[in-house]
Structure 1
């Protein structure tokens, strides 16, 4: 039996959006604000899975779009003094985090993306958005490479699927550094509270961070609570978290699972195993939402002396394509 889907353009509050529908699922993507997938909902079960800005918060959201929906970070997180050298080329980004003196989160989560296509097939509704950097693009002054990032989002009976590609269109090797600052509601269900939730996360080691929130290259022992991330789980707001971990796998998969124990419902965030790192941030431990962030590379990776393979620092050669997928879906908990 084929479920009817929809793909169309309409507003998300006062911002142009591409909307997808499939069965009881609904999603919205904002091409003018970083191709942010700003909403993922289950209408039948009244679930609001991602943190969405309210209508009156849209101006503040556009000014700082990193803590709603699924923002694209390229390069992700912090870079010391906004500087690094890669493949003999020196890069200088603006210092945009005054308290640490670092550059934070790159340029793509605030940029305008193109809507390449959207449609419905017999098995899914989908949309494809892209951004191409050429010498005429304002981002080129910071990342002097010709490349295209493409995002394909689709809704189906299997939930929300994200497929991301980075294609080096130029003639020189470039650093491929990417993450997603995914903001997940806890609670995501009407009638539940934050106390009804626990999560697990496939982590291995915790990176030691210095006073500027940059990795020292050393690991820290996991606390007893952090060890529960890999076993029985713990509440997303057990403590204030702005922590950086190496990723691990569970049954060959790299993922976060968030369980609503009142409903017996589990949200699975199954990300690709190429994401060698996790960031996890929970807004100072305030209940409402938290951000389990799959990240390809170590924070400040080009300035690290550790091997590129260990820290996920990918060299994308001319003509080459890097790609990965992630999926959000629900199962009985």
Structure 2
């Protein structure tokens, strides 16, 4: 099985293209290490929302609704501010209508290509961002750390490994998510109505008018109950909802099924992502975003204990890592083991 990795261009941007078997992925190192494309070339399937040439100005300004952007920290921080111990953090207000900070500082930061290559039928690229006193992000997040993101493409699919290590001398708050934008339909021969999705969601967190958790949970409606069961159309109603993860059979995942061709995209996020955000852009169609997160929205300020909020503190030298996988299977086909 042939595999290849090469530097290429993507709508005028530097990109790294990985190919193995029928799968192909493209990563943009200079735009937050965004995995902007994941395709099955042989079957003509394109799984992620990619910007058109006309959308590139918006993408370059706000790249969080295309591909797989890194959210660090994910989602909203009330007033852009939180305090842990003796340290207060101030993030810029970039959601002015609700006076929140939104999506962190790594999704548009240039990353370094640390390594890439081919090994036993797979192609890989390893990207990293190193934050220290010289990095602009240090002004709002004064912790030295390294974030390494590795993508591997094989004949069975795509594997993402996120690895973060605290390089400082004091505990570092850790909150991570991915704003994964799945294209609907991903087959050009299908329609949006051919698709249903499932997700291993548990409880829905109640959100206030600023889209911040109140600490209470709400009963799932009938459509939401189908998300964790038989599945439902991704645009059955407008969704901007936050859920606890409720793994099934030891796995934490989203599936998107094309009923016309009996194909299923599986996004197995890993058990260390304890929450899901599901956003479908006001049910307008074309794409929706199942977003795995380690933590509750606004976790440092949320009125719940850390074991419920998912807020982690990495000790000096401590490392956090998790692997997610994306692949396609026949509806009655086997499930790739982690």
Say which SS state the counterpart of residue 38 (structure 1) adopts: strand
Question: Is residue 74–residue 178 contact of structure 1 (8 Å, CA) maintained in 2?
Answer: yes
d(CA) in 1 for partners of 2:86, 2:172:
11
Q: Deviations over 1:94-124 (max 9, x none)?
A: 1000110000000100110001011001131
Q: Which 5+ residue runs of structure 2 have no aligned equivalent?
A: 332-338
1:172 pairs with 170, 173, 185, which one?
170
Q: Structure 2 length normalisation: TM-score?
A: 0.97
SS in 1 for 2:193: helix
Task: Specify the SS of the correspondent of 2:225.
Answer: helix
Report if the CA contact (8 A) 1:14-1:55 is conserved.
Answer: no
Aligned pairs (5 A) from 1:228-307: 228-307=226-305
Aligned with residue 144 of structure 1, among 135, 142, 161: 142
Structure-2 residue corresponding to 1:61:
59
Aligned CA RMSD, in angstroms, stands at: 0.7
TM-score normalized by structure 1? 0.98
What SS does structure 1 have at the residue aligned with 2:57?
Answer: helix
Aligned counterpart for 2:77 among listed residues 60, 63, 79: 79
Q: Deviations over 1:234-284 (max 9, x none)?
A: 000000100000001111100001100000000000011111100000011
Assess if the C-alpha contact under 8 Å between 1:177 and 1:296 holds in 2.
yes
1:133 counterpart = 2:127:
no
Unaligned 5+ segments in structure 1 are none
Is the contact between residue 70 and residue 181 of structure 1 (CA under 8 Å) also seen in structure 2? yes
Could you tell me how far 1:46 is from its partner in structure 2? 0.2
**1:56 to partner: Cα distance:** 2.6
Kept in 2: contact 1:87–1:173 (CA 8 A): no
Structure 1 stretches of at least 4 aligned residues deviating more than 6 Å after TM superposition: none
State the match for 2:37 in structure 1: 39
Aligned-residue offset at 1:311: 1.4
Deviations along 1:172-200, one digit per CA (max 9) or x if unpaired, are 10011000000001110011011000001
1:155-170 correspondence to structure 2 within 5 Å? 155-170=153-168
Distance across 1 between alignment mates of 2:224 and 2:244 = 13
